[in-house]
Chains A and B, each alone.
Chain A
Amino acid sequence: MAASAVVPGVVDLAGKIRTEVDRAILRSAKSLNYLGSPAPAVGATPKTVLHRRGTLALYHYHATADEVYRVPILFVMAPTNKAFVFDLAAGRSLVQFLLERGYDVYVMDWNPPSHDERHLKLDDYVLDFIPDCLQRVREDSSVEDVTLVGYCMGGLMSAIGTALRSTVRPRNLVCFTTPIDFKKMELWQAWYDPRHFDVDRLVDTVGIVDAQFVFRSFDLLRPASGVASHLRLWDNLWNDEYVRSYQLMQRWTAETLPLPGEYVRQVAKELMQKNALFEGTLRVGGERVEIGNIDVPMLHILAEHDHMVPPESGRPLIERARSRDKQELLLPGGHVSLIAGPNAVKRMWPALDQWLGERST
């Protein structure tokens, strides 16, 4: 009996050693492939460019279902990043998932702003770009009702537009990880402290805030994660799927966008330093923004381990909205893995499909 209790453990250890040796061989063989491989293709789902205007691009993805829901969806990406995070690759694409589930999908994407666009601010995004795209979606789809889906600052701009009610009037509003109470973003608060951060000097000097500045500020939130992710990559070099996912996310983060200076100035002064959206003192287009004016069906999906927008920063959106049909979902994951990680496929996408399906007819 004693011998039979020991043998399985020894066999187990031997099996693990064999597995690790196999992985080490594969790591060596595949490391050269990794170093020599080109950046992975992203955003491959067929689409049409409906409209381009400076930094703005509006795409319409080609439907794959024979029958679609009546209400089309318009995604609003945050101006800091490219929208292909919604369409990374086959099996990792929220857009592809929604197309297969029978939705008509449009996406607002951003290109690096030109020097002429350094004066763009929240007002331009909320009162010009979003209403312009909504109108184009309505005309293209022949349906007036449109569901707005905004990610991070894209969600904030969609929520502001919906709260103003004059130009943005979606059928449904869905926000992913959207900050409202900026005082709850403690690290950002420290960095945007007006005693130390002279945003006027920065914006007046550069006009357009460099992508590296934006990228480094995101990266600084988790200083050890860069090294840890490289270690994990080495550990998983034998695993093609892991390497592919890593490369996709690396490509997305590497394509962080520069920002118009006025937008940075407004975010720093109004949102970060005065917390004006939460306090109800933010004015866009001369009109005071009151989140309590939102009365359309809305869903806010927050990530439990979001290091950029902590859940407590986003909670006031649902708490304050006047909508009778409103829901907040707190899902496991981080700021990006909520929408594009393996957990997104299992958790967020089906939840979004269920919520949207019931409100898209």
Chain B
Amino acid sequence: MVPESFMDPMRLWREAVTRLEAEFNAVSNREMKSDAFAQGLHQFVSASVAMQQYMEKMVGEMQRHLNVASRTDAAEMLASLRRVEERLDRLVPPEIVGRPRPTRTRRPPGEHAVNPAPAPTKSLGSDAKSARRLTSSAASKPTRKRKPAQG
């Protein structure tokens, strides 16, 4: 009787890859739980961090001499840009949307809701504007246009 896998060497190969992967991962995981591995790993991490710090310092010195922006400068610029964007978000009022929002009346198929009685919408906080928005029904909420997200 010829085994079925003999008729399909690619299947044999795929099964071998899966088996070897599982076995190698299992053996590695056993080894990686040892004290020796953990110690070696963290020695390597410490050395990498120290090397990275040293390289950053050297490159930073070189960039300073060449009068070019460093990674820290770029990060600071990014942080500044973010702050500007956040302030713009607060300044720019929501635009008006052309499409209405759907009503919040959907029921589960078969009406098996665990809590079938819809709770009334509640006001949140003492802010009058906020309270007015929250107590109004979702269906009658004014529609607004929004900025499309990037990316």
Contact = CB atoms under 8 A, between A and B. Distances in A.
Contacts of A104: 104
Size band of the interface chain A makes with B: 35 or more
Interface string A190-203: 11010111100110
Given A102-B106, A141-B138, A114 B82 contact: yes
A346 interface: no
A145 B42 CA distance: 46
B114 A205 contact: no
A135 B141 CA distance: 17
Size band of the interface chain B makes with A: 35 or more
Interface string B105-147: 1111100111110110110100000100110111001000011
B114 A359 contact: yes
A206 B109 CA distance: 53
B114 A68 contact: no
A102 B101 CA distance: 12
Contact of B17 (A53, A59, A145, A228): A228
A139 interface: yes
Given A187-B29, A235-B14, A144 B124 contact: yes
Chain B interface mostly: helix
B122 A206 contact: no
A118 to B, nearest CB: 11
B62 interface: no
B134 A144 contact: yes
Contacts of B112: 358
Interface in B56-111: 72, 75-76, 78-79, 82, 85-86, 89, 101-109
Interface in A13-60: 13, 16, 20, 43, 46-49, 51-54, 59-60
B136 A142 contact: yes
A357 B105 CA distance: 12
Given A48-B147, A205-B49, A206-B49, A65 B102 contact: yes
Contacts of B79: 114-116
A46 B102 contact: no
Interface stretch (A148-156, A217-225, A271-279, A328-336): A217-225
Nearest to A226: B21
A67 B147 contact: no
A115 B75 contact: yes
A60 to B, nearest CB: 8
Contacts of A361: 106-108, 113, 115-116, 118
B104 A69 contact: yes
Nearest to A10: B7
B46 to A, nearest CB: 7
A236 B29 CA distance: 28
A223 B35 contact: no
A224 B24 contact: yes
Interface in A243-269: none
Contact of B45 (A65, A135, A143, A213): A213
A297 interface: yes
B49 to A, nearest CB: 6
A63 interface: yes
A334 B48 CA distance: 31
Closest 8 CB pairs between A and B?
A357-B108, A224-B24, A228-B21, A48-B146, A70-B104, A114-B79, A102-B106, A144-B122
7 contacts: A69-B106, A142-B134, A190-B33, A202-B49, A220-B32, A223-B24, A228-B21
